[in-house]
Amino acid sequence: MLICPVCKNEYQEGYKTCSDCKCDLIEIPDVIAEKSKPVKAGMLIPFLLGLLIILCSPIISYQFTADFFIPDGNGIFDPAQFIWMLNAFHYSLLLVGSIICLPPILYWFKNRNSQ
């Protein structure tokens, strides 16, 4: 595979110079070309799931708290306890969402820096 040393554009066999930079192309071994493949699409699913949990954490935490304190919709509760439980669920969901998002972010960051 041929690559431009300046702009890193890839070219097929037969080209001699880069169309953008006008510099000579260099050939890189296939082993290096395999490492510079795009990021795996499978990392997108955990990232989106974690992002969805983070974005929906206020709604989900309210539903969990309401189910605990107001099972039939007419329960009596202490507002301070309700707020405490609401915050506990909210911060827990933020933490879980962040932990789920972390491996794809680290993978993408590592892949970006290795190219």
Q: How does pLDDT run across 65-101, given as a tens digit for each residue?
A: 888 877 665 666 778 888 999 999 999 999 999 999 9
The token pair at 54 is 């983070």
**pLDDT-based confidence at 31, cuts 50/70/90?**
very low
The token pair at 44 is 């997108």
The distance of Cα 63 from the centroid of its chain, to the nearest Å, equals: 26
Cα–Cα nearest to 86, from 56, 62, 115 = 62
Cα–Cα nearest to 89, from 67, 57, 113 = 57
- The per-residue pLDDT for 29 is 63
The token pair at 98 is 């962040």
Between residues 54 and 77, the one the model is more confident about: 54
- The position carrying tokens 């707020």 is 83
Taking the domains of the chain in order of start, what are their residue ranges? 2-35, 41-114
Torsion angles phi and psi, residue 74, rounded to 5? -125, 25
